Amino acid sequence: MKNAFTALLLTCFTLAGWAQQKDFAILGKVVDSASRQPLLGASAFCQNTTHGTTTNQEGLFFLRLPNGGYDLVVSYMGYNKQVLRISSNQSLADTLLIELVKEEKAMAEVAVVASNEVADGLSKYGSFFTEQFIGTTPNAAQCVLQNPEALRFFYTKKRNRLKVTAKEDLLITNYALGYTIRYQLDSFSYDYNTNVSQYTGAPLFQEIDSTETMQETWTKNRAKTYLGSRLHFMRSLYDSTVIEDGFIVEKLEDDPQSVKGSIIHKLYDGEQYIADSSDVTVNWAGRYRISYRTVLPDKRFLQEFKLPAGMKMQVTLLSLTNGFVIEENGYFYEQYDVINTGYWAWKKLAELLPYNYEYE
């Protein structure tokens, strides 16, 4: 066991030396928190990427990743999963030790008994869930949920709220962008009083193998999806190329009913923008409007939100209580503190691109 561990560690250092400037390696070990025994076959992947693997007999896993930041998801059947933030700033000498805790079945059983599961939930709420989770964009029309039978639907009349969970990872094939997405859905909820949906989970992407002609089509579709997206904006903000890349940033008035704003011309000055050697801290607070002028908004978006047909820009509103930190690949945190409405919110799972996507 010791020899295998040493060999794997040496492999990490060797590979990291080959790709010193662009990649970094992560070595981890997954064990049972009580027995300290290694867990064979545990899943380890960086969510919203194409990078994932499983542990060997010693509980070890190895990933080589493009520089930047990621949420590393480690899970094993019957155990509570762990999510760790990792980045290229971490030392290769530090082996991640992940101790998974067994689920308390008694608590899970009580939760199921006390729930309000809808027996015919898929037929009653399936289409609605798909629209809220995958989206209503043209790309969404080319997405197929391969295992809808995994979904469970719960409705609480008192709160007028729908909740959806999954018995297994959801498999979504996106024929518009050329990905199969394995999505670990934690939960999905929709509040009928406010018409607000929220969901948490971890997607892992896999490239679909197809003809060269189809690959060319997917390359074009991905580029179209990327331009003006949140990922595009975060990378532009990291690179200090926001204006050059076609974005306009406005600071809106504090009054939540007001739409008046002033353009921020000096985005990279003072305490609002602090560039470190590997990340950028953006100390924004309040309401902001992000407009993208290079690509017109989709006609379906304008129709759904009853906006003028001649609208020339994609517009998103951001609401922040604190700042956020951006890594080289466009990953940022804390993501739940950045609330967006408008165009970015309309583009749901069907428009999602992995963090290791490179615009061509």
Q: Please give the share of the chain, as a percent, with pLDDT higher than 70.
A: 90
The pLDDT value given to residue 105: 66
If you search the block for the tokens 């040496």, which residue do you land on?
A: 10
CATH number for region 2-105: 2.60.40.1120
Largest CA distance in the chain: 67
Query: How far apart are the C-alpha atoms of 350 and 54, rounded to whole Å?
Result: 26
Task: Please give the DSSP secondary-structure letter assigned to residue 127.
Answer: H
The pLDDT value given to residue 7: 47
Each residue's pLDDT tens digit, 142-159: 999 999 999 999 999 999
Each residue's pLDDT tens digit, 193-229: 999 899 999 999 999 999 999 999 999 999 999 999 9
CA angle, 252 as apex, 251 and 253 as ends, to 5°? 125
Helix, strand or coil, per DSSP, at residue 213: helix
Strands 96-100 and 23-32: parallel
pLDDT band at 13 (very low <50, low <70, confident <90, very high): very low
Residue pair 88/39 in contact by the 8 Å Cβ criterion: no
Beta bridge partners of 111: none
Residue pair 343/314 in contact by the 8 Å Cβ criterion: yes
Q: How many residues appear in the chain?
A: 360
Domain positions in the chain: 2-105, 115-207, 226-351
Q: Which helix (H) or strand (E) holds 130?
A: helix 121-133
Residue pair 118/126 in contact by the 8 Å Cβ criterion: no
Residue pair 28/44 in contact by the 8 Å Cβ criterion: yes
Query: How far apart are the C-alpha atoms of 284 and 323, rounded to whole Å?
Result: 5
The pLDDT value given to residue 91: 61
Strands 314-320 and 286-292: antiparallel
The pLDDT value given to residue 316: 97
Q: Please, what is the average pLDDT of the chain?
A: 90
* Nearest one of 257, 258, 229, 264 to 245, comparing CA atoms: 229
Q: What's the pTM?
A: 0.89
Helix, strand or coil, per DSSP, at residue 159: coil
Task: Please give the DSSP secondary-structure letter assigned to residue 33.
Answer: T
Give the residue ranges of DSSP H helices in 211-353.
Answer: 212-226, 230-239, 299-304, 343-346
Each residue's pLDDT tens digit, 302-360: 999 999 999 999 999 999 988 999 999 999 999 988 999 999 999 999 999 999 999 97
* Residue type at position 327: E
Each residue's pLDDT tens digit, 70-125: 999 999 999 999 999 999 876 656 789 999 999 986 555 455 545 689 989 999 99
Query: How far apart are the C-alpha atoms of 327 and 106, rounded to whole Å?
Result: 40
C-alpha 123: how far from chain center: 28
Q: Tell me the average pLDDT across 66-71.
A: 95
| Residue 131 pLDDT > 80 | yes
Query: How far apart are the C-alpha atoms of 73 and 81, rounded to whole Å?
Result: 7
Q: Write the burial class of residue 170 (CB in 10 Å: 0-12 exposed, 13-18 middle, 19+ buried).
A: buried
The residue with greater pLDDT, 5 or 350, is 350
The pLDDT value given to residue 6: 47
